[in-house]
Structure 1
Amino acid sequence: MQNVTIVICNYNYGRFLAKAIDSALEQDYPATQVLVIDDGSTDGSREIIESYGGRVKALYKQNGGQVSAYNDAVNMLETEFVILLDSDDLLYGHAVSNVMRVFESGNFVKVQFRLDVIDPAGKPSGTYVPHSAAPSDCGSPLRQGWLYPSPPASGNAYRTSALKKIFPVPEADINRYGADFYAIYGVALLGAVATIPESLGAYRVHRTENSGIDFANSESNDKAPKALTKRWAILRQMARARLGIELPLSFHDFSLEKAHFCSAVYQAPFTKRWRWVSRQSHSYFRSIVGNPFWSYKKKIGTLALSSLCLLPFSALSDFAVRYIANPLARRRF
């Protein structure tokens, strides 16, 4: 039986931290170790971690951001397999066992799985992420600039030897967060990715303002495009320097394009919606029509919903935007 480490990266999430640690310690896979990286919390998180005594290994560091925490975590890893769990998320008790069965069935660099979406109080939303499955060969479309469907950070298990070829990631003021971006997409350049088509954990969503068009914890719709663009540029530099892989200058990602779509047409006047579709929507529709991971049915459905923003009825247009942008908004209909 091979050892696995669950790394929990935490910053001021003391109100959720114990549940995350408990979910890691309660795994039914005996060879599971737990490492907590506390990134300079000031909310009492340290006392919570220390209450577990020798059941967990811990690193208390000065605040440096998520990239810094991931760098330290990967550097400390002594097991060949790892799950990087956010401290506000949860793993179900059979997660590691299921992941390891897949790792043992093939030479995968990453195994990903669905996460049920829960609200800040832990109440299930009735939906999960991601909604599209990734192919085993994610590297080929990635080399063409297509970001493949992946769960958030907590829904990914990695082969440590692959992660160590990607990390450490440069730590800069503009690159403090989004460390999972480099793990998720960098590792896929090194080998096959497997997908488990069931939920093995829970992803906690905190931000649901703007009537439900936001579906992210770290960045709003106006900040996400800029952040992703910077991360892609850094990943390109790393891939060239460390792996000898040349990635394209730009990338394609529906999540990015729908952020532009939401910002442009949600609660916008009829004329503004038409103007955006006629002049600025090329990349958005390309991310749908050319998407190598989507079925024809999903493409047609998304195009049909998107076209509702061209109707003069603002309520119908806003409904379509909410439905496309945020799975949490769908449960009300």
Structure 2
Amino acid sequence: MKQIAIVICNYNYERFIAEAIDSALAQDYPGTRVIVIDDGSTDRSREIIESYGSRIEPVFKENGGQVSAYNLGVEILDTEFAIFLDSDDVLYPGTVSEVMRQFEQHGVAKVQFRLDVVDDAGNLTGAYVPNTEPPADCASLLKKGWLYPSPPASGNAYRVGALKRVFPVPESGINRYGADFYAIYGAALTGSVATISRSLGAYRVHRSTTPSVSFANSEQITKAPKAFRERWATLRDIAHERLNLELPSAFHDFAHEKAYFGSSLYQAPVGARWRWMLNESRAYLHSIVANPFWSLKKKAGTLFLSSLCLLPYSPLSDFVIRYITNPLARRGTVEQ
């Protein structure tokens, strides 16, 4: 039987690590191993991890950031397949069996599946990610600079051989975090992607109930765009040096562009909103109009909503911006 490892990378998540480990141990696929890499936690994480004894394979390291944990995880993996599960997320029962069926049937480099978005307490918010399915051949679009729709880290399973062609990734600067960026897009450059269009796990968010344009756990909305640009540059270098592939200098991604849109227009005076739309919205509009993953109806709807932010009534403008940038704000719940 082919083996798969669930690698749980943890840092100071004593509140959630047991739930993540339990969800991994509860998988019914017999060839499942559970590896827990603790990145130098200073809370009770180590005590909790050690309490599982031989049921898991613990790895304790000095703190170096998420990328260093992924680098170590990929290095020590000796299974054919792997899932990198964030320590505050969970997998639903039967996830691994479904993922392995996809690998057997399609021979892909990566299998991705939807994740339900839950709040800090684990309650369902009614949202899920991603909301759009990519084609199997994501590499051809990546070569044109388009980042394909993917769930966050925990919603992806990889052929380990694909990961070993991409990792290790440089660990300095912006690359302390965002390791899943390289796994998600790097693996797709080595082979096809299969998508399971139902939720097989839960992605936890850690925000308040205050309405916001933020839709990211790990980085502030004003920092995320710069981080993405630097990671894309690093991925280009990796693709060139290790995969003999050339990626364009710039990339296109609505999630990235809406971060600029939201941070620039939210709670801004009407004049500033108009100036941004007239002078700085080219990339944002391109990510809508030319989006290869969206239907014409979705493009038209997003353009219409975007135009409403130019109205002089600020409460309506701010609502529209939150609606576009943060799907959870539409439900009056927490934001991602």
The answer to whether TM tops 0.5 is: yes
1:103-252 equivalent positions in 2, closer than 5 A: 103-208=103-208, 211-252=211-252
Using the alignment, how far apart are the partners of 1:208 and 1:215 within structure 2? 12
Q: 1:314 offset after TM fit, Å?
A: 1.1
Aligned residue for 1:39?
39
Aligned residue for 2:81?
81
Identity %: 66
Aligned-partner residue type, residue 103 of structure 2: F
Aligned residue for 1:19?
19
1:60-99 equivalent positions in 2, closer than 5 A: 60-99=60-99
Whether 1:282 and 2:282 are equivalent positions in the alignment is yes
In structure 2, relative to structure 1, the CA distance for the partners of 1:252 and 1:208 (3 Å cut) is farther
Aligned-partner residue type, residue 216 of structure 1: A
TM-score for the superposition, normalised by structure 1: 0.98
CA shift digits 1:78-122 (9 cap, x unpaired):
110100000000000111011111111011000000000001111
Using the alignment, how far apart are the partners of 2:304 and 2:322 within structure 1? 14
CA shift digits 1:186-205 (9 cap, x unpaired):
11111100110000000001
Following TM superposition, the consecutive aligned residue runs of length 4 or more in structure 1 with deviations greater than 6 angstroms are none
| Secondary structure at the counterpart of residue 108 of structure 1 | coil
* Contact 2:2-2:31 within 8 A present in 1 as well: yes
Q: 1:130 offset after TM fit, Å?
A: 0.5
Q: 1:302 offset after TM fit, Å?
A: 0.8
Aligned residue for 1:317?
317
Q: 1:50 offset after TM fit, Å?
A: 0.4
Using the alignment, how far apart are the partners of 1:119 and 1:174 within structure 2? 27
* Contact 2:116-2:201 within 8 A present in 1 as well: yes
* Contact 2:28-2:93 within 8 A present in 1 as well: yes
RMSD over aligned CA atoms reads 1.1
Aligned-partner residue type, residue 229 of structure 1: R
Aligned residue for 2:30?
30
Kindly tell me the number of residue pairs found equivalent between the two proteins: 333
Using the alignment, how far apart are the partners of 2:323 and 2:153 within structure 1? 23
Using the alignment, how far apart are the partners of 1:330 and 1:192 within structure 2? 34
Using the alignment, how far apart are the partners of 1:99 and 1:325 within structure 2? 30
* Contact 1:114-1:199 within 8 A present in 2 as well: yes
* Contact 1:207-1:214 within 8 A present in 2 as well: no
Using the alignment, how far apart are the partners of 1:167 and 1:208 within structure 2? 35
Aligned residue for 2:58?
58
Q: 1:207 offset after TM fit, Å?
A: 2.9
Using the alignment, how far apart are the partners of 1:332 and 1:207 within structure 2? 13
Q: 1:210 offset after TM fit, Å?
A: 5.9
Using the alignment, how far apart are the partners of 1:225 and 1:208 within structure 2? 22
* Contact 2:214-2:326 within 8 A present in 1 as well: yes
In structure 2, relative to structure 1, the CA distance for the partners of 1:210 and 1:262 (3 Å cut) is farther
Aligned-partner residue type, residue 136 of structure 1: A
Aligned residue for 1:265?
265
* Contact 1:133-1:195 within 8 A present in 2 as well: yes
Aligned-partner residue type, residue 118 of structure 1: V
| Secondary structure at the counterpart of residue 211 of structure 1 | coil
Q: 1:175 offset after TM fit, Å?
A: 1.4
Aligned-partner residue type, residue 133 of structure 1: E
| Secondary structure at the counterpart of residue 133 of structure 2 | coil
Using the alignment, how far apart are the partners of 1:175 and 1:130 within structure 2? 23
Aligned-partner residue type, residue 158 of structure 2: Y
CA shift digits 1:227-262 (9 cap, x unpaired):
111100110111101111011011111111000000
* Contact 1:207-1:216 within 8 A present in 2 as well: no
* Contact 1:136-1:194 within 8 A present in 2 as well: yes
Q: 1:224 offset after TM fit, Å?
A: 0.2
Q: 1:326 offset after TM fit, Å?
A: 1.0
Q: Give 5+ residue unaligned stretches, structure 2.
A: none
| Secondary structure at the counterpart of residue 312 of structure 1 | coil
* Contact 1:208-1:214 within 8 A present in 2 as well: no
Aligned-partner residue type, residue 119 of structure 2: D
Using the alignment, how far apart are the partners of 2:245 and 2:208 within structure 1? 38
TM-score for the superposition, normalised by structure 2: 0.97
Using the alignment, how far apart are the partners of 2:316 and 2:257 within structure 1? 20
Whether 1:297 and 2:297 are equivalent positions in the alignment is yes
Using the alignment, how far apart are the partners of 1:132 and 1:96 within structure 2? 22
Using the alignment, how far apart are the partners of 1:267 and 1:173 within structure 2? 31
